[in-house]
Structure 1
Amino acid sequence: MSAISERRERERAHRHQLIITAARELAESEGWEAVTTRRLAERVEYSQPVLYSHFNGKDAIVSAVALDGFSELAAHLSRARHGADPGQGLRAVCRAYLEFATDRPALYQAMFILPTDLKFASAETPAPLRAAFDEFVSCFRPDNTRRELFAEVIWSALHGMAVLSDSGRIPADGQEERLDFLIARIADTPTKPTSP
């Protein structure tokens, strides 16, 4: 690849990230309804055709923001798990997840609420999404043959707690008690399926 081609690729990657960052900032300050290609073009000082050369519409931009979010979430959960006292990894990861959802509501919406083309639980699952999920899986003992199931249940419950709390449908001040209950129930669950 020539030096000119490499420079163009760097410039394209920079523009791509600039659009993602602008979309996220706009969503965080005014909500996702405010994120339009016209507003983004004004904000990043490129024409709408330049935006469309990077993204095929708003859903693609939301997907790119979500993918960045999963990278952040994976790093956030990893720091929590590795910084936890022995035996407290699951609690630390769960708490970190809820904090992430509360502190970054627009990003969380892009990741879990708004339509995206990201594939969950499949061979095409992007690495950042898998890395975030694996932080939950890593909280369970390696000899637990149902680690992924436990991680799915925990993640599902936390997502419900985050969304219901954010919408005011459950009181935010009950999060710790709900978290205690969830972790106690999962920790007491047998690691092998019981036969009927």
Structure 2
Amino acid sequence: MGIKERKEKHKEDLRQRILDAAKELFLKDGYEATSIRKIAEKIEFSPTTIYLYYKDKADIMYALHQEGFKLLGSQFGVLQHVSEPFERLKAMGRVYMSFALNNPDFYELMFIMKEPIEFVKAHCHDEEWEEGEQAFTALIMTVDQCKAAGYFTSFDTTTFALNVWSLMHGLCSLKLQGHLDHMATTKAHILEEGDWLEKTFEGFIAMLNSLK
């Protein structure tokens, strides 16, 4: 590795350290309580160094938002080989659920905290938020293909896609915030034993099947 390559690697490593530290602080202390100075202290660099990479903490939050959507998009991407659209739609639900459970920090930044999407609305045109647009576009296209195959024909594509996303988001949020497990524990006398995330997801799929 030459000098130029080593310098580039150092820059990328430092950029990632900044993002990792910021993500931890945003989730632990909240966006408003997190400052560039606190991020700098965590990685043991000066605030000036961070400003060489990001103009402010909103820029850092947006970079984390992009990183999360790239990860989600790459996981959705592997489903393109599933030719039957209804099967792909079900698989997208499982991928979304798996992403949320395996990346709860990113999930909160992407879909729970309001600051990242406020930055997007204030500063980004559609082409500047490609990662986020691609994720929802994949869902829209899959619903459209389902309709072409005879599914959900009485529903508007965008509205139906939003409903699917809303239901999956609600399920994932209930699980991540502990509400789903609390319900299963406190209502054990009326609920059957088992994985209630899986049971609820299966109920969601059964509902989709009934709308075919």
TM-score norm. by structure 2 comes to 0.67
2:139 aligned partner, one-letter code: F
Match of 2:189 in 1: none
Greater shift, 145-154 or 53-62, is seen at: 53-62
Match of 2:206 in 1: 184
CA distances 1:127-177 after superposition (whole Å, capped 9, x unpaired)? 100111122223224346832222211111111111111112123822222
Q: Please, which runs of 5 or more residues in structure 2 have no aligned partner?
A: 185-194
C-alpha separation in 2, matches of 1:12 and 1:89 = 40
1:159 aligned partner, one-letter code: H
Q: CA deviation at 1:104?
A: 0.9
C-alpha contact 2:126 2:133 (8 A) present in aligned 1: no
CA distances 1:35-72 after superposition (whole Å, capped 9, x unpaired)? 65334324444311232454354343222101110111
C-alpha contact 1:137 1:147 (8 A) present in aligned 2: yes
Match of 2:121 in 1: 119
Q: Please, which runs of 5 or more residues in structure 1 have no aligned partner?
A: 1-5, 191-196
Match of 1:82 in 2: 80
Match of 2:131 in 1: 128
C-alpha contact 1:101 1:108 (8 A) present in aligned 2: yes
Match of 2:47 in 1: 48
CA RMSD of aligned residues (A): 3.5
C-alpha contact 1:36 1:58 (8 A) present in aligned 2: yes
C-alpha separation in 1, matches of 2:121 and 2:16 = 21
Aligned match for 2:28, one of 18, 32, 42: 32
* 123 and 41 in structure 1: CA distance in 2 versus 1, 3 angstrom threshold: closer
Q: 1:154 and 2:156 equivalent?
A: no
CA distances 1:109-133 after superposition (whole Å, capped 9, x unpaired)? 111122221239x953711001111
Match of 2:141 in 1: 138
Q: Which has the higher helix share?
A: 2
* Structure 1 residue matching 2:179: 3-state secondary structure: coil
Match of 1:68 in 2: 67
C-alpha separation in 2, matches of 1:127 and 1:68 = 11
TM-score norm. by structure 1 comes to 0.72
Q: How many residues align?
A: 179
